[in-house]
Amino acid sequence: MRKALAAAEAMCAQRGERLTEIRRAAYAELLEAGQPLSAYELLQRLQSRLDKPLAPPTVYRPLEFLVQQGLAHRLESTHAFMACDHPADHHHQVLYLVCTDCGGAEEVRAPAVDGLIAQTASSHGFVLKRQVTEVQGRCGDCNEQTDKSGGDQGGGR
């Protein structure tokens, strides 16, 4: 995590931005969580980390900054935030696999999906400005647990 925080700080400095204490703490919490967090969950974690009460806007501003800088992503379907797996890269051709059982999410490259969406939009005269592609289902770990327990084999809720 130290490497990720140092890289984030360097990336922000290179862009003329500052990774303030609250932004750094929010990013650290997202990194530590290892799964998407709602703004409310992050607020609770930050209050514990910083050992002081915080108002909700205190968490939304850092989250907005982290998303703008490519350090975090907002999952539209769950209204949650997750640390980016590769903040130095461009965020095209990315697909989010969101587990409806454990709440985890994985950021994966999906150039074929991205290309198909761009081609379809273009054929309709539509210009893409922002694209978030999320797929909900059950992750491999949850599938494995379900298979071991002999539970539902249906592949999601």
Decide which of 39, 66, 88 is a domain's last residue. Answer: 88
Residues 96, 84 share a domain: no
Residues 82, 101 share a domain: no
Burial class (CB in 10 A: 0-12, 13-18, 19+), 118: middle
Decide which of 42, 66, 88 is a domain's last residue. Answer: 88
Residues 33, 78 share a domain: yes
pTM of the model: 0.78
Residues 145, 129 share a domain: yes
Residues 99, 74 share a domain: no
Residue 19 maps to which CATH number? Answer: 1.10.10.10
Residues 149, 113 share a domain: yes
Nearest to residue 80, comparing CAs of 131, 42, 53, 25? 42
Residues 75, 106 share a domain: no
Residues 82, 26 share a domain: yes
The domain tally of the chain equals 2
Give the span between the Cα atoms of 48 and 52, in whole angstroms.
Answer: 7
Range of the domain at 143: 92-157
Output the tens digit of pLDDT for each of the chain's 157 residues. Answer: 899 999 999 999 999 999 999 999 999 999 999 899 999 999 999 999 889 899 988 899 999 999 999 999 999 889 999 998 777 766 566 788 999 999 899 988 888 888 899 899 999 999 987 777 899 999 999 998 877 877 655 544 3
Decide which of 48, 67, 88 is a domain's last residue. Answer: 88
